[in-house]
Structure 1
Amino acid sequence: MKNNYLKSGPVFLAFLCMGFGDVVGPLTSQLQSEYQLSNFLAGFVTFMGFIMFGLLSVPMGLYQDRKGKKHVLVLGMIAALIGLLLPIIGQFASFGLLLASLLLLGTGATLLQVAGNPIMRDVSPDGKYSRNLSFGQFIKAIGSLSGALLPLLAAKYWGLDWKILFPIYAILVLIAVIYLWIVKIDEKKNNTSSPASFGSVLALLKNRYVFFMVLAIFLYVGAEVSMSAKLPNYLEYKFNFDIKEMGLWGTLFFFLSLMIGRFLGGVILNWMIPSKFLRLTTLLSILGIASLYFATTSLFGFVSIFIIGLGFANIFPLVFSITIDAMPERSNEISGLMVTAIIGGAIVPLIFGAVVDIFTLMVGFAVPMLCIVYILGLSFYNIKQV
């Protein structure tokens, strides 16, 4: 079948809203500077944004097996909308209010990930799921990019700061939920004799293939969040950038390269098989991280950041789609497990921060490096499904 853009449109818009959850990365360096937090404590900003992935993903994967993916998408948008409105209503009165907002925003992002990744298969032509998922991640990268770009523009042209993100995001999420509510999507039924359950999820996790791929998602997301949170600190550490005025350029450039890489990935996957592309993109990621250590000028540093973003861009959709394509009849359980693994975005940055506090910032970058090395090894290892 051909792409039905009326039906796929709200799904792509849902991916844009997913990206809003990544605002915790750019906010980390800003809040760390403002509140004089240690690297370890600053990691709790991302922790609040990602903890719900670990708590809700599997239960919501089972819930959507009964209620449907579109239903869960709508619930996710509503949760995100409440989270975005909360600090606006409370006039950003306290840091606790902001953390509660990020927790709800993370809840919304969790539900959008659980439902959005598999529902993309329902609106994709045969054999084009990986391509469309990469394009969906490209759209998500636009949402992620906005978390760094909009505060920079607001400060330069309007004398405002990161608070401007909340009303803008709220309006876009409201539009998305109305659009999704109106459009009818025909969801593919799983060809299984029994519905998904906690038992079936645990049994699936005993499959070596699924376990190693879920671990890859855990490590990748942790590496990506670590990068988005610590690249401003890298520019300050290596090139004396002012972290409040110029530091966000590191995160902005990273998300820009992610966006470009995901667009290119959607094109490349028209002619390159996903498994081969995964090897190529992980090698590029490792090259980019290694080059951070050798950068002697800010230009070299930004080139390194750009290479990292290009390499990182398609790892998540490739691992996700390769796994679901291998076992499409268990897409809801796999989606729940893989979105649970996004909790790596809460755990790995804490490890990164602890390593930085004990050693130095540059030693800390070995943490995301090791995460990507694992995925590279996995891409070369032919795991038999048992």
Structure 2
Amino acid sequence: MAQTAPNTAIPPATHATGSNTGPLVIVTILFFMWGLLTSLNDVLIPHLKAIYTLSYVQAMLVQFCFFGAYFIVSVPAGALIRRVGYQKGAVTGLLIAAAGCALFYPASKSGYGLFLFAFFVLASGITILQVAANPYVTVLGPASTASSRLTLTQAFNSLGTTIAPYVGGILILSGAAVGADRLAAMNASELAAYRAHEAASVQGPYLALAAALAILAVLFALARLPKIEHGEETTAAASGKASALAYRHLVLGAVAIFLYVGGEVSIGSFLVNFLGEQQIAGLAPAVAAGYVSVYWGGALVGRFIGFAVMRYVSPGKSLAFNSLVAIVLVLTGIFGKGALAMWAILAVGLFNSIMFPTIFSMAVHGLGRHTGQGSGILCMAIVGGAIVPFVQGALADAIGLQTSFFIPAACYAFILYFGLKYARLHLEVSAPA
């Protein structure tokens, strides 16, 4: 899942007087909401695929539009925040995300194209939120406890990604699936009525999410939050290099982020269909959606295990170990059958846990005054969540779903290389993200 980047150069803040508990609660809810909204895609993809009889590559346009927004909107979002400030920027992001959720209502009465536009609008709002809300995690209280606050908010983000597939499976996938043969036998009016009925299952959940986001926007606008002021850019560890792109480890790190987010999102996107394969588990979509929560829940547990382990093991070695195990698990899912293949793929989530923050921290290490630019490059690399699932979808259509998991296996292979190349790099351990 696209994750919040570790804070690398948070600007100083002027703290508001009084308790920060209320604002911290609101910001924590924001982290929970964008985790929930992001992982709901894993439920909607098989749902829309079945309704509109899409190929796998057509179904992956959902992630293409969603994560493509990160690439397109990240730079404008930064400009917006500089212009209107962090608090107003967060309110803007919430309102745009609410509008994206509200668009699911007309989309359910229209067609797949409007669904894709709604995904893009929703993700655009989330992108602005991530740029605007992240700094508040560290400034809502003493600097000495910033790490624990970051852990708390990231835990709620992971909680959102964990429970969303389970709840979405109940609310959206609970209807009886209609087979392709029966769909082919329907005339035009019957098919239109069926699609309208099935698409309507998203109306209630997403209108409720739109209302929740709008309420959060009001609360965020009224909250007394610290004013974040931009200070002078740090020149620590500066070199004569003109750009962050001159640092080889930053470039390799950007490729690793691209492939990690792509691999993680791709596995989640195909899980419901993978678990529905007869040679794997033959699960109904609503039941399979509950197991998607196991995949994301493994990442939640693994972050705290990794946080403890990485106090004693270098980030590069930890990254190499986790990526190697992920490769073995994915290959087991490809060549195995039944429960072995099923649980091997689900277990990948546990080893995904430390990858994003570890790659990010290794990539920006030693950039000095180029840290801000490097951070922006890495955030734009999240577009891997748009490209890699699309590629796997094309391969699934060509050679089969189970075999298509060679794509995420190849992603983890590069991450293994990156971890081994910088295995001796030692960084200060930070809170899991």
Report deviation, 1:322.
Answer: 4.4
- CA distance in 1 between counterparts of 2:144 and 2:360 reads 15
Change (3 A) 1:255 1:82: same
Q: Aligned to 1:365, which of 397, 405, 409?
A: 405
List aligned pairs for 1:60-99, cutoff 5 A. Answer: 60-65=77-82, 67-88=84-105, 90=106, 92-95=108-111, 96-99=113-116
List aligned pairs for 1:294-305, cutoff 5 A. Answer: 294-298=335-339, 300-305=340-345
Deviations 1:44-86 (A, max 9, x none): 1111211111111123234435554444333221210111122
- CA distance in 2 between counterparts of 1:118 and 1:333 reads 17
- CA distance in 1 between counterparts of 2:251 and 2:148 reads 24
The answer to whether residue 258 in structure 2 is matched with residue 230 in structure 1 is no
Change (3 A) 1:5 1:330: farther
Aligned to 1:239: 280
Q: Aligned to 1:18, which of 16, 22, 34?
A: 34
Aligned to 1:40: 57
Change (3 A) 1:114 1:331: farther
Is the helix fraction higher in 1 or 2? Answer: 1
Q: Aligned to 1:185, which of 217, 222, 226?
A: 226
Residues 276 and 285, structure 2, Cα contact 8 Å, conserved in 1: no
Question: What TM-score, normalized by structure 2, do the two folds share?
Answer: 0.74
Give the residue type in structure 1 aligned to 2:165: A
The structure with more radius of gyration:
2
- CA distance in 2 between counterparts of 1:66 and 1:330 reads 22
Change (3 A) 1:329 1:193: closer
Aligned to 2:192: none
Change (3 A) 1:103 1:142: same
- CA distance in 1 between counterparts of 2:128 and 2:309 reads 29
Residues 39 and 164, structure 2, Cα contact 8 Å, conserved in 1: yes
Between stretches 45-54 and 242-251, larger displacement belongs to 242-251
List aligned pairs for 1:196-235, cutoff 5 A. Answer: 203-235=243-275
Change (3 A) 1:212 1:41: same
Report deviation, 1:121.
Answer: 4.7
- CA distance in 2 between counterparts of 1:14 and 1:329 reads 30
Residues 275 and 288, structure 2, Cα contact 8 Å, conserved in 1: yes
- CA distance in 1 between counterparts of 2:48 and 2:399 reads 22
Aligned to 2:380: 340
Helix, strand or coil at the partner of 1:192: coil
Where has structure 1 moved over 6 Å in runs of 4 or more? 127-131, 155-160
Unaligned residue ranges in structure 2 (runs of 5+): 1-18, 177-199, 236-241, 426-433
Report deviation, 1:348.
Answer: 0.7
- CA distance in 2 between counterparts of 1:25 and 1:186 reads 37
% identical equivalent positions:
25
Q: Aligned to 1:355, which of 395, 404, 408?
A: 395
Helix, strand or coil at the partner of 1:93: helix
Q: How many residues align?
A: 373
Deviations 1:325-355 (A, max 9, x none): 6447555534432222111111111111111
Give the residue type in structure 2 aligned to 1:173: L
- CA distance in 2 between counterparts of 1:116 and 1:216 reads 25
Report deviation, 1:236.
Answer: 2.1
Deviations 1:151-183 (A, max 9, x none): 333369999944443133224323433443304
Q: Aligned to 2:289, which of 248, 253, 260?
A: 248
Deviations 1:295-324 (A, max 9, x none): 4333x3443233201111232233234445
Change (3 A) 1:339 1:174: same
Aligned to 1:283: 324
Helix, strand or coil at the partner of 2:51: helix
Aligned to 1:199: none
The answer to whether residue 143 in structure 2 is matched with residue 138 in structure 1 is no
List aligned pairs for 1:166-185, cutoff 5 A. Answer: 166-181=206-221, 182-185=223-226
Between stretches 50-59 and 288-297, larger displacement belongs to 288-297
Report deviation, 1:124.
Answer: 7.9
Q: Aligned to 2:46, which of 10, 26, 29?
A: 29
The answer to whether residue 310 in structure 2 is matched with residue 293 in structure 1 is no
Change (3 A) 1:4 1:273: farther
The answer to whether residue 123 in structure 2 is matched with residue 106 in structure 1 is yes
Report deviation, 1:377.
Answer: 1.4
Change (3 A) 1:114 1:257: same
- CA distance in 2 between counterparts of 1:348 and 1:282 reads 17
List aligned pairs for 1:289-328, cutoff 5 A. Answer: 289-298=330-339, 300-324=340-364, 326-327=366-367
Helix, strand or coil at the partner of 1:92: helix
Residues 7 and 185, structure 1, Cα contact 8 Å, conserved in 2: no
Change (3 A) 1:212 1:161: same
Aligned to 2:300: 259
- CA distance in 2 between counterparts of 1:155 and 1:313 reads 27
Residues 221 and 344, structure 1, Cα contact 8 Å, conserved in 2: yes
Report deviation, 1:104.
Answer: 0.9
Residues 260 and 310, structure 1, Cα contact 8 Å, conserved in 2: yes
